[in-house]
Chain A
Amino acid sequence: MIDPIGREFGFHQMALALRQQRQEILASNIANADTPGYKARDMDFAAALARAQEATMRLGDTHLALTSARHIPGIAHTPHPDALLYRIPSQPRLDGNTVDMDLERVQFADNTLRTQAELTVLSSRLKTMMAALQQ
């Protein structure tokens, strides 16, 4: 974060990447609307963006030091901070699927609109920057 231009666009880059990730999750929910036992997933967007801004690094997995060929290797996985959440179903289904198609489609449309807004803002920022450079 030394260069001011990178700082200017870093936030938009993070937000767009997260939006795209959420779009993928929602597409997966819609695709699996008829899969028995599938649990609908989603992410807490605000929390994920706040974490990305803080740039908190995820602690690496802990490995046991092996000093002999006969040691058993051990790994402690650190849970990912952006772990996806499960949706609470409003109505249970007999096949164990928790996808609520109406909800997913509304969320998908919402996410699309917000991505478009983000793209518009980023685009006008770029134009502003270009205008300043050309003075």
Chain B
Amino acid sequence: MSLSIFEIAGSALSAQSQRMNVTASNLANAESAAGPDGQVYRARSVVFEMAPTPAQAAPEAVGGVRVAGVLRSEAPHRLHYEPGHPLADEQGYVALPNVDVVAEMVNMISASRSYQANVEVINTTKNLMARTLTIGQ
């Protein structure tokens, strides 16, 4: 077994945990009326792309995964009627983040399942490597 399987599955682990981080940030800020810059928080999402392992033939076939970027959702803010709120506008509406809590939960479960699958790949490969080392014993 070569070490590149560990690289591939390891890159997926870090990418999926970054996705979990973003989800956690979205869920934590689902009710934040103002962010550090004074603007209302916007939901973020990560975009994955394939990261080919070095030293292989031109059309890269195998590779890990990396985060290509973090996108900010441009969906409109949620407007909540609360005239007594310090951040309310003239009509009494407060702009709340455009976080879709249900979608974030689904995203979190999906990320955790993918993470588990990659951990399984690492464990299986580790066992195979140990078996390979004991050939002929």
A residues with a Cβ closer than 8 A to B are 16, 20, 23-25, 27-28, 30-36, 38, 41, 77, 80, 84, 101, 105, 108-109, 112, 115-116, 119, 122-123, 126-127, 130
Count of CB-CB pairs between chains A and B under 8 Å? 92
Partner of A24, one of B5, B57, B137: B5
Known: A27-B5, A27-B62, A32-B50. 16 other contacts (CB 8 A): A23-B1, A24-B2, A24-B4, A24-B62, A25-B62, A27-B125, A28-B62, A31-B121, A34-B48, A77-B58, A112-B124, A112-B128, A115-B128, A122-B136, A123-B135, A126-B135
* Cross-chain contact B64 with A31 (CB below 8 angstroms): yes
Secondary structure at the A interface, as helix, strand, loop or mixed, is: helix
Q: Which of B4, B12, B62, B120 has the most CB of A within 10 A?
A: B62
Measured between beta carbons, the chain B residues less than 8 angstroms from A16 are: 132
B residues with a Cβ closer than 8 A to A are 1-2, 4-5, 8-9, 11-12, 16, 19, 47-50, 57-58, 61-65, 110-111, 114, 117-118, 120-121, 124-125, 128, 131-132, 134-137
Measured between beta carbons, the chain A residues less than 8 angstroms from B61 are: 25, 28, 41, 84
Measured between beta carbons, the chain B residues less than 8 angstroms from A84 are: 61
Secondary structure at the B interface, as helix, strand, loop or mixed, is: helix
* Cross-chain contact A23 with B12 (CB below 8 angstroms): no
* Cross-chain contact A35 with B48 (CB below 8 angstroms): yes
Q: Which of A16, A34, A119, A130 has the most CB of B within 10 A?
A: A34
* Cross-chain contact A32 with B12 (CB below 8 angstroms): yes
What residue in chain A is nearest B132 (Cβ atoms)? Answer: A119
Q: A27-B5, A30-B12, A101-B117 known; A35 and B131 CB under 8 Å?
A: no
